[in-house]
Each structure stands twice: as C-alpha cells, then as structure tokens.
Amino acid sequence: MDLRQLRYFIAVAEEGNFSRAAERLHISQPPLSQQIMALEDSLHVTLFVRGRHGARLTRAGEALLVRARSIVSDCDSVEKLVRRVADGLEGYIRIGIINSVMYGPLPRTMHLFQKHNPEVEWTLHELLPEQQQDALVAGKIDVGFACSAATRSELRSIRVYPQPLRVALPSEHPLAKRRRIALKALASDAFVLLNTQSPIIRDVLAACVRDGFQPRVLHESIDPETVLSLVGAGVGVSILPESLSTTPRENVVFVRLDERGVNADLYASVRRDDTLPALERFLALLEEVTLEWRREIGAKNSDAE
C-alpha cells in the first residue's frame, strides 16, 4: 500500500465509477484498475463491488475511506509544511545576542520579519560572545550577534555593519564639547565599562596601555543602561558602541573616539555546515534595514556637527 494507491482509491470511492475516477486523475482506466487490485491484494480484502453501473464500496472499503482521507490529508499537510520550511516561510530561528546589539537595527529587523513572516517564530537568548559560540556549536542557537567575529573553526562570521566607538562623558565633563577625543586624553578619568571580558573592551584596554596609561576601571556591567546611568551620575567615563549613542541620554554626552584599529563592528556568526532558509531571509532583511539605519545615523551625526 502506498500513497498513490490511496489517492486512486479515494477517487474511485468518491466518483463511484472507474472511468470517471480515471478522468479525474488524468490517467487511463487500466492502470487505475491495476492499482486498485494491487491495493486489495496487499490488504487481502475486496474494497469495491464492481458492476455495470459503477463501483460500490464494501464495508472494508468504507472503513478504509475514512482512514485514507485522513492519511492523505496528513501527508499533504506535512509536504506543505516541509516545503514552507525549505523556502524559509515557516519554522523558527534561535537568536543569541549581547545587550548592546539591541540598540541598533536588529529590533527593527525583528519587527519587520515577524510582520511579513508570521509563521516563522524566533526566540532571543542573551549570551556573551564566548557563550554564543558554545551555544552555536552545541546547536542551541542558530545565529549569534556580537561585536566580534567567531574564533571557533566550526563557525563562520559575517560582518553586518562597521561601527565606531564613542566616548560617553558626563555632560559637565571638561572634554564634553570636543568633536573627537583620543584615549590618552582620558588617562586621569575613572572608567565605567561594559564587561571587561568582551573582545571590544579588551581592545580598548590594550589601546590604553599602548597610549601609555593603565585605565582605572571603577565599575563594569553587562548592562549598557547601568553603564550609562553611572556615566550620567558623574561616576566616570565609558567607551561604547555607536549604536548606544543614537538615543539622547540625560546628563550624558557622546563624542567620537579618535583611536585607529579599535571599533565595535557587528558580526553575525553561524555554523559553517548550516543552511537555514528562514535565517537567510532574516539576514537579508537585516542587511536592508541596516542600510537605512546607517543613513539615519549619518544624518544625525551631520546635524550634530
């Protein structure tokens, strides 16, 4: 018994006639009759009472018709689901993030993707960059967004957009009115930083040492809002990704960091052997949204100058 035979059986049962069923199926009658006989042989029952005026279901045939319709319907649903998943129109995406990436184009992308792809579910997992890599390799997330590329051989990273760093200063800071600030100008300041184990902050700390001073880190946090609140309160200064400077903050001023080779470019990391159509569609949309977001950032920076 196979799916084709069940489809043929349903057609004959519904038409009550082999000739009409053959026309409906766009095949000739002999192959149809042969397949019905083969189905009867495999089940060891007679499904139809054949006569000059058509074909009538036996009790066994009536019982099979109910199940056959259910089986064919389920198979059609599975086939449709699999095709939609293969086309990226259905399924799920598990997204790993660091907190700071939610200040860029990612939330807008998620909103638009959900609006146009309601059958694709996504979940967010807040993980540090190293944790994202572990989760990717273990198959617990499908993509990780961080301000550093993956280092594991099983993974590959795509740069989503370049992102400079900004100096966050209390609004009353002596350097708050400058257009650019070099790290060495902050040598006497206390620092409030994002997690010092993150690649970006490690690069910033290394750059401070190259510029001749060991930064005095008073506080560190994985939460950008905590860092900005402390800066606004005058506790210290911070170095943050540009995306965090796009929303006005009370008592906080953002100034361009004048330091070559130190940035916070955003990367999307995925498994090398993965092909997830829904994720590919998501990343393609992110690219479009990012272009618009970068234009908005550029316009704001031009107005500020």
CA distances from 36 to 20, 22, 252 (A): 14, 12, 79
Domains 3-86 and 91-162+265-304 share a fold: no
Tell me 274's DSSP state.
Answer: -
Give the pLDDT band (50/70/90) at residue 302.
Answer: low
66 or 275: which leads in pLDDT: 66
Mean per-residue pLDDT for 203-208? Answer: 92
Give the pLDDT score at 222: 87
Tell me the pLDDT tens digit for each residue of 88-132.
Answer: 666 889 999 998 889 889 999 999 999 988 888 889 999 989 999
Give, as one character, the DSSP assignment of residue 214: -
Cα 268 from Cα 86, distance rounded (Å): 21
Question: What confidence tier does 61 reach under pLDDT thresholds 50, 70, 90?
Answer: very high
**Where would I find the beta strands (DSSP E) of the chain?**
48-51, 54-57, 91-97, 120-126, 143-146, 155-161, 165-170, 180-181, 190-194, 216-221, 238-241, 252-257, 266-271
- Residue at 2: amino acid letter: D
The residues spanned by each domain of the chain are 3-86, 91-162+265-304, 165-257
Residue 91 phi/psi, 5-degree rounding, is: 130, -150
How far apart are the C-alpha atoms of 281 and 2, rounded to whole Å?
36
Compute how many other C-beta atoms are within 10 angstroms of the C-beta atom of residue 143: 23
Q: Is the pLDDT of residue 305 over 60?
A: no
Q: What was the pLDDT predicted at 299? A: 67
CATH 1.10.357.10 fits 3-86, yes or no: no
- Token digits of residue 153: 């051989």
Q: Are β-strands 252-257 and 120-126 bridged in parallel, bridged antiparallel, or unpaired?
A: unpaired
Whether this prediction's pTM lies above 0.85 is answered by no
Residue 160 has pLDDT above 80, yes or no: yes
Asked if pLDDT for residue 52 goes beyond 90, the answer is no
Question: Torsion angle, CA of 169/172/178/182, rounded to 10 degrees?
Answer: -40
| DSSP sequence for 110-121 | HHHHHHH-TTEE
- Tell me what percent of the residues of the chain surpass a pLDDT of 70: 95
In the DSSP assignment, the letter for residue 29 is H
For residue 109, the tally of other CB atoms under 10 A from its CB is: 21
| Contact yes or no for 155/133 (Cβ under 8 A) | yes
Instruction: Give the 3-state secondary structure of residue 144.
Output: strand
Quote the longest CA-to-CA distance of the chain. Answer: 103
Provide the residue type at 78 as one letter: V
Distance CA 94, CA 121 (A): 9
Whether residue 86 is predicted with pLDDT greater than 80 in this model: the reply is no
The CATH topology of domain 165-257 is D-Maltodextrin-Binding Protein; domain 2 (3.40.190)
**Sign of the alpha-carbon torsion through 230, 231, 236, 240:** positive
The fold of the 91-162+265-304 domain, in CATH, is D-Maltodextrin-Binding Protein; domain 2 (3.40.190)
Helix (H, G, I), strand (E, B) or coil at 41: helix
Residue with tokens 């997992």: 125
